[in-house]
Amino acid sequence: MTTKNLLVELFVEELPPKALKKLGDAFAGTLADQLKALGLAGADSVVTAYASPRRLAAHVTHVWLKAADKAVQQKLMPVTVGLDAAGNATPALLKKLQALGADVSNPAAAVASLKRAPDGKAEALFYDSLVTGATLDTGLQKALEEAIAKLPIPKVMSYQLETDCELPGWSSVNFVRPAHGLVALHGSTVVPVKALGLTAGNSTQGHRFEAKVAQVVIKDADSYAATLQQDGAVIASFAERRAEIARQLAAAAAKVGNGARPIEDEALLDEVTALVERPNVLVCQFEQQFLDVPQECLILTMKANQKYFPLLDATGKLTNQFLVVSNISPSDASAVIGGNERVVRPRLADAKFFFDQDRKKTLESRVEGLGKVVYHNKLGTQGERMQRVCAIAKGIGLQLGGAELAEKAVLAARLAKTDLLTDMVGEFPELQGIMGNYYAKNDGLNEEIATAISDHYCPRFAGDWLPTNLVGTSVALADKLETLVGMFGIGNLPTGDKDPFALRRHALGVIRMLTENDLPLELNALLAGAVPAFGDKISDATPALVEFIYDRLAGSLREQGYSAQEVEAVLALQPQRLGDVSKRLAAVRAFAALPEAAALAAANKRISNILKKAGDVDAHVSDVLLKEQAEKDLYAALKSVVPQANAQFEAGDYTASLQTLAALRAPVDAFFDDVMVNAEELDLRLNRQGLLKSLHDAMNRVADLSRLAA
């Protein structure tokens, strides 16, 4: 049986732009999966998704008109249930066969057609039948309904269709947007399916203003995209339209010259791709005076409100020109350019007004206002939160740089949230911190404090930069620790799918600052130091928070390529200086490559089990009680090797420390071969356990080596 390619299109009103790509991929993917499940498309069938502002479509190759018939064997019931003592069919069996469509007019013949086969401990009856393959008409109908039902629609809307019955009336339809057309073509043949009150045909609509014809007739499935582009002035493919926009943006910037380039924003590019059917990039400009406003404000208002692409010069500074992706291509674009320039002007004027008004008040004068802003009903106001962050930042500053750094950290922490009360941040919350930096400089504060105000939010996301000075680092750590300690202290913990206070992100931020900057701060002390700032508002949940942070650290390390064994070995000790973790991991990896590693890891695991069963063991060894030569040799080796290994450990050379300890392999092996640890004499047993405890303590300072055992 020959195959043909299939094309299905839903023509609708403008779809939500931020969801368009996901909707297009889901529609095409589910449709193809359903056709394959029904046997109407093969594993080699290729699906192509199309998504434009007013359509979702899918092209599937190698689709059959009818699926092949399929032999199916069904288990009916145990033989003891289906047949009586004489081997005749029971009423239960006959009823089951009848339900399956089998001929039961001759029960004996029906029984003879069944198969008996072992099924566990008993025998069962099996019925062989031939299931007729689905036709494309019925199969596509089912697949289309499934594809529509499984669309990840952000918000469903209801609309009504006039019914075709003799009595006038309306039927209600629920979908993401009102649908106005359905195309279903198998080759050049229309497949008569229905959906959303529509019956499939072979025509659709093109561009609202620039289509050559009112109804674009699709000759066959394979000519869909080309016909739409030629007759309908629509680039149906999301990917092709996106690439065309990127090409035009680059070309337009090149024409402007002077190294101009459009701002890079993948999300904006996706959104604009979902707003236009045939893109046309135009160059516009605004008055130079607006460049006095911080460029972050202008860029944000152009991107967020107008979906424009600001142009930067070769140094990354904003120019007074921007790019518009128009959905129309008039011969004279001056009206379109002028319209966009008029539209953006009030937006930029608002930004300038906010900036000018905000600078009339100092950040210090806004501090009191933080006490009127609720942060959390159990944790008080932003003013109370600011005081806690100041206290935590002071402690961190003292540890990192003494009284001078602590004083600067307190000042930056005191002012860090005041820009939340400004008009600019009220309009554009994304600018919090950034505007604080500008306003701090306007108030005459030095660069170090101003930078710390903007940096205290960092890192905002994975891959974001870290604070660039110690003042910013102190405040950023304090800010994130305040959130973590506070939320854990009131039991407001993240769940599997919800983390409204971004505690996972805050934990990773703390981890990155401690590790990448190799800060001389201990984790438990940091957390414990933050708790007193809350007074009686919280319970001390430090143990749970410690586990939470180490879990985040473990996940981060595995993503960086470390094995689960390596990560578990190092983090089992919960090293307090997180900056040491990477060095410990490198040491463990180097140790694992040594020929002695496997035996020592196995011995370590054995020692751990012995000590666990023994209970509280004192790491003390008496020379007098060493009876066997093997235990004497092990003790001598410990006295020889361990001081050197400890000195290397204290110097931070963890790799050398573990490699020095590898010399213990031979005496350890001999000890376990020749010495009975759990001797009957109590003093001997305790001395040998003490010897193993000494060995265990010495070998597991860098990592828990037993975790490396197979």
Domain CATH for 602: 1.10.730
Same domain? For 30 and 126 the reply is no
Q: Is residue 576 situated within a structural domain?
A: no
Same domain, 591 and 486: no
Do residues 551 and 440 share a domain? Answer: yes
Upper half-sphere CA count for residue 179 (Cβ side, 13 Å):
23
First to last CA, the chain: 55
Report yes or no on 445 lying in a domain. Answer: yes
Same domain, 373 and 343: no
Cα(490)–Cα(538) distance, integer angstroms: 5
CA distance 311 to 256: 9
Residue 367: closest CA among 441, 419, 327: 419
- 74, part of any domain: no
Same-domain check for residues 33 and 156 = yes
From 332, 358, 384, the end of a domain falls on 358
- Cα angle value 368/371/373 (rounded, 5°): 120
Query: Domain containing 187: what range?
Result: 4-67+135-232
The count of domains in the chain is 5
Q: Is residue 73 part of a domain?
A: no
- Shared domain check, 334 and 300: yes
Structure confidence at residue 162 (pLDDT): 64
How much is the pTM? 0.81
Is 552 found in the same domain as 421?
Answer: yes
| Domain end point (choices 513, 529, 561) | 561
- pLDDT of amino acid 167: 46
For residue 542, what are the β-bridge partners?
none
The residues of the chain scoring below 70 in pLDDT are 1, 162-170, 710
Q: Is residue 569 part of a domain?
A: no
Instruction: State whether 431 and 284 are in the same domain.
Output: no
Domain end call among 339, 358, 377: 358
Kindly list the strands in the beta sheet with 309-312, ordered across the sheet, starting from the edge strand earlier in the chain: 261-262, 309-312, 318-326, 280-285
CATH of the domain at 447: 1.10.3210
461 within some domain: yes
Residue 290 maps to a domain: yes
115 is a domain residue:
yes
The two tokens of residue 279 are 């893109």
Helix axes 629-650, 654-661, angle to 10 degrees: 170
Q: What is the pLDDT of residue 142?
A: 95
The verdict on 115 and 139 lying in the same domain is no
Q: Could you tell me if 411 and 330 lie in one domain?
A: no
Does 424 lie in the same domain as 377? yes
Same domain? 555 vs 418: yes
Q: Which helix (H) or strand (E) holds 619?
A: none
